Amino acid sequence: MKKRWLLNLILFSVVASLVAFLYLRPKSEAVKESTHEVSHYKLAEFNAISVEFPTKAAVAFEKIDGLWRLTAPYKTRADQASVQRILAIVAANSPEKITTDDLGKFGLDNPSIKLKLFRDQNNLEEFLFGTYNPVTGEQYIAHRNVVYLVSSTYAEAASIQVIELIDKAPLKPTEEVAGFNFSRLEQWEESKLNVDLVDGKWKVSIASAKPLQNELNEWLDYNWVHNLAKSVELYTPDRKATYPSFEVKLADGKKVHFDKIQESPDLILGRSDEGLKYYFPQDVGFVMLNPPLNLPN
């Protein structure tokens, strides 16, 4: 009796394992087969982008020296992460892949967005954005007359306000800081403050200052190299207005001029060569313009 019970238990285990294997294997393959790649392109293949809308101006980008720049409707530095999110459509996956000549069925005969990605002037890939699936909330897109269903985040990335596509860093990624001339700011006019990197060491023009190298390195890194403004606006300098100002010295000998337009409730810095105003919280702005010098009381 005991042997029969053990035999039944073994047979039950074998059958259960076989059923589980047969159940799980086809299901896994079905999930794999139901996912379709929208394209096989790589983000790095493209060097220009055009985002076109039915009722507003197109937005264009161009990659110059490895970095994306906004070229329309404004000419300025682009936020690199925002451009990568627009390009991410080439890596999208879709649960549906429909070959059809009836693009109107999916709102693709009059698309809400035309996204054109260029390898060069004569070599482009176009993605059309149509209506949304009422059940899943996903959006129909077309590429090379094939319709896919993708997340709505791709259209959101492409249709974000232009001002949000501008780089919020006050300095370009290629601008290596060599020092600061703060002598024209009110708090430093008397001392004519200059802070410079000389052979990798910080030098301060105020004789009584006892700066710590690590503190100044951290100040530069956190407040200038990796500090992003909370917002930006276009800036056309007013020739009739006179603002306190300062200069960032660069390793190549060039200088970047900033106007201090406002100190509170936000610090507003104007960079005339880029045509941009940067808005920083007041506490962040104070630290940006007041390096840790360890001055005597």
Instruction: Specify whether 208 is located in the same domain as 100.
Output: no
CA angle, 223 as apex, 218 and 227 as ends, to 5°? 125
Sequence letter at residue 241 = A
In this structure, is residue 186 part of a structural domain? Answer: yes
CA angle, corner 241, sides to 240 and 244, nearest 5? 145
Judgement on whether residues 148 and 52 belong to the same structural domain of the protein: yes
Domain boundary among 114, 144, 165: 165
User: What pLDDT shows up at residue 221?
Assistant: 97
Name the residue range of residue 43's domain: 37-165
29 in a structural domain: no
The dihedral region occupied by 65, where left means phi > 0, alpha psi between -120 and 50, and beta the remainder, is left
Q: Is 137 left (phi over 0), alpha (psi -120 to 50) or beta?
A: left
For residue 41, the domain's CATH number is 2.60.40
Residue 188 included in any domain: yes
Rounded to 10 degrees, what is the CA torsion of 57, 59, 64, 69? 100
What average pLDDT does the chain have? 90
Q: Are residues 45 and 158 located together in one domain of the fold?
A: yes
Which helix (H) or strand (E) element contains residue 147? Answer: strand 146-150
Number of domains in the chain: 2
Q: Which of 170, 163, 149 shows the shortest CA–CA distance to 228?
A: 170
Which residue, 145, 165, 185, sits at the end of a domain?
A: 165
Residues 135, 251, single domain; the answer is no
Is residue 33 very low, low, confident or very high in pLDDT (cuts 50, 70, 90)? low
The pTM for the full model equals 0.82
- pLDDT of res. 16: 52
Specify whether 147 is located in the same domain as 191: no
Residue 293 lies in a domain: no
Decide which of 134, 165, 196 is a domain's last residue: 165
Residues 277 and 247 in one domain: yes
Quote the CA–CA distance of 95 and 57 in Å, as a whole number.
32
Report pLDDT digits (tens) over 185-208: 999 999 999 999 999 999 999 999
Which pLDDT score is estimated for 9?
Answer: 47
Predicted local distance difference test score (pLDDT) of residue 120: 86
In a domain, 22, yes or no: no
**117-127 pLDDT tens trace:** 999 878 999 99
Cα distance between residue 22 and residue 144, in whole Å: 38
In a domain, 213, yes or no: yes
Q: Kindly state whether residues 136 and 181 are assigned to the same domain.
A: no
Once rounded to an integer, what is the mean pLDDT over residues 251-271? Answer: 97
